[in-house]
Amino acid sequence: MGGSEAQQRIADAVGRVVNVRSVPLVRLAHEDGTERAVVVVRVGLPPLLPVTDVVTVIAHVQLTVARLVPQGTAVHVEPSVAADQATPTEAIVIRAME
């Protein structure tokens, strides 16, 4: 499966996960030094989604991607969510990790 075909397949599957509104990025790469496969997926989530639900969506996205890629592939999910247009995503994510 070619890169763009694999990326589209991942984007399509992730787009069906509950509360995922968009999949603006699917990137396939390899870790420096180890050549371990890495998939980075950015997902757009609904405004005002509770942080507990953000965590659940991230877990579901990781599981969805893991089922489509070779075993041992690292899957990183970048949520894009904000409480309102003025709140940067980083503020929400950092608060959730505290």
Q: Where are the domains of the chain?
A: 3-97
- Residue 97: per-residue pLDDT: 47
Answer whether CATH 3.30.70.1350 is correct for domain 3-97.
yes
Confirm if 19 and 51 have CB atoms less than 8 A apart: no
**Number of alpha helices (DSSP H) and beta strands (DSSP E) in the chain:** 3, 3
Confidence of residue 27 (pLDDT cuts 50, 70, 90): very high
pLDDT digits (tens, 9 = 90+) for 42-76: 999 887 788 889 899 999 999 999 999 999 999 99
pLDDT digits (tens, 9 = 90+) for 4-23: 999 999 999 999 999 999 99
- Residue 12: per-residue pLDDT: 97
H or E element: which one contains 28? strand 22-30
